[in-house]
Structure formats: C-alpha cells, structure tokens
C-alpha cells in the first residue's frame, strides 16, 4: 500500500540544520566547563553580534505566516511533522523508520537534556515521545492534534547512551492511539501513550511558501 506522508510547512534551510547541531554541541561543552574563560566570553560577544545582524534580516513579526496571515509579513512556518531536532536545538535528535503502523529507531540524549546526574530529564523524554509518535502518524499519512500524552517512567534513562525506540499505532472511531517504549538492552525505561484526533488535510490553513531572496 502506498502511503502519502503528512506534512505541513516549509523545509528548514540547510544552514539552520547545521546551526542547530552546532548550538546543541556548544551548549553541552559550555555546561561541562569548570571555570570562566576568555574563549567562552569571546563566543558570547560574537554570538550577540551575529544575533543583531540576523535579526535585521528577518521579519519583525514572529507569528507564523499561515491562514489569514499567509500573505502578511510574519515568519515562514517550518514543518513540524518530523525531525524537528534537525533544525531546532531545543528538540532531541533521533533516527526512526516507520511502516505498517509501526516504528523503530534510536536516540542518544546529550548532556543538554540532563536532569538528575547522568539521567535524561523527564520532560525531554515526554517531548521525545510526542515528536516520535507524531512522526509515526505523519509517516503513515494520517495525523492530527494531540489530545493527550501520558508517560510512565519505569527506570532512569541515561544520557550519552544509545537507546532503542519502538512504537505502534491504531486508528478507530475518529481517533489515533499511538504507543511507544524506550529500551536499553531490552529493558523498558519508559513508555508513552498518545491520543490524537484524525485530522482533515482539506481543512488545514494555507501556508505561505518560502519567499524568494
């Protein structure tokens, strides 16, 4: 069966993807520093200058350019259906493949997602499941707004360690139920269940394409 993946929004710039990876790595290095140093201060000053230059190039209104605002001066809306961490350093990065309503993949949480010593913060685990289960739905061609997400924390999930992800979903009576687990060496560390509405692609608002230079 041919599946038409669900997407909504524009693709990020290649430079935005690269920046996300650099910022995530830099923050992890900065967190591990023991003492103040000139290299970090120089980096902060350089980033401040770059922030000012880039802000002058972007839109003044940071609301997304969709729906009734699709012809306005707001920002471009980027696709959040999959791999958000590739372009936004606030989101985790993972690898995942989906087919036949099932998903499997891997994720390693770096230092920036730490909560208790050496352990992934529970909020980032919930964020991961929200992203991964949404991507499963989108890759299967049927998705919608999340109605609820519950996470059961069974054992601490370590940072800097490759974890296995498995997920599956069912669709019935206008609702999507997706479940997932994070495992380490076969042991379930945490599990999640997401309930989402079955969306109507025809009802999605217009999204303004990326504007030419």
Whole-angstrom distance, CA of residue 167 vs CA of residue 197: 18
Residue 213 has a pLDDT of: 76
pLDDT of residue 35: 95
- The separation between CA 173 and the C-alpha centre of its own chain, rounded to angstroms, equals 28
The CA distance from 140 to 98, in Å, is: 7
Q: Which positions ≥6 away from 165 have C-beta within 8 Å?
A: 94, 96, 103, 104, 105, 106, 107, 132, 180, 181, 182, 183
Q: Which of 148, 152, 8 is nearest to 84 (CA)?
A: 8
pLDDT tens track, the chain, 213 positions: 568 999 999 999 999 999 999 999 999 999 999 999 999 999 999 999 999 999 999 998 999 999 887 788 899 999 999 999 999 999 999 999 999 999 999 999 999 999 999 999 999 999 999 999 999 999 999 999 999 999 999 999 999 999 999 999 999 988 999 999 999 999 999 999 999 999 999 889 999 999 887
Question: What was the pLDDT predicted at 70?
Answer: 79
Domains of the chain (ranges; CATH) run 7-213 (3.10.129.10)
Contact 132, 102 (CB under 8 A): no
Instruction: Please tell me the predicted confidence (pLDDT) of residue 97.
Output: 97
Of 108, 107, 175, 185, the closest CA to residue 144 belongs to 175
Q: Give the pLDDT confidence score for residue 73 in this predicted structure.
A: 87
């Amino acid at each position: 069966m041919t599946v038409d993946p669900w997407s909504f929004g524009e693709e990020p710039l290649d430079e935005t993807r690269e920046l996300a990876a650099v910022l995530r790595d830099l923050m992890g290095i900065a967190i591990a520093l023991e003492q103040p140093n000139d290299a970090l201060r120089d980096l902060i000053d350089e980033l401040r200058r770059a922030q000012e230059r880039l802000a002058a190039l972007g839109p003044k209104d940071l609301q997304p350019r969709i729906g009734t605002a699709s012809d306005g001066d707001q920002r471009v809306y980027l696709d959040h259906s999959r791999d958000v961490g590739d372009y936004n350093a606030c989101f985790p990065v993972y690898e995942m493949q989906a087919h036949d309503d099932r998903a499997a993949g891997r994720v390693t949480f770096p230092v920036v997602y730490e909560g208790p010593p050496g352990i992934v913060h529970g909020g980032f685990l919930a964020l991961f499941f929200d992203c991964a289960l949404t991507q499963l739905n989108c890759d299967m061609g049927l998705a919608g707004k999340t109605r609820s997400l519950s996470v059961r924390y069974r054992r601490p999930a370590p940072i800097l360690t490759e974890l296995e992800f498995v997920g599956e979903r069912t669709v019935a009576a206008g609702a999507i139920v997706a479940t997932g687990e994070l495992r380490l060496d076969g042991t379930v560390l945490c599990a999640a269940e997401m309930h989402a509405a079955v969306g109507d692609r025809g009802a999605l608002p217009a999204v303004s394409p990326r504007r030419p230079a």
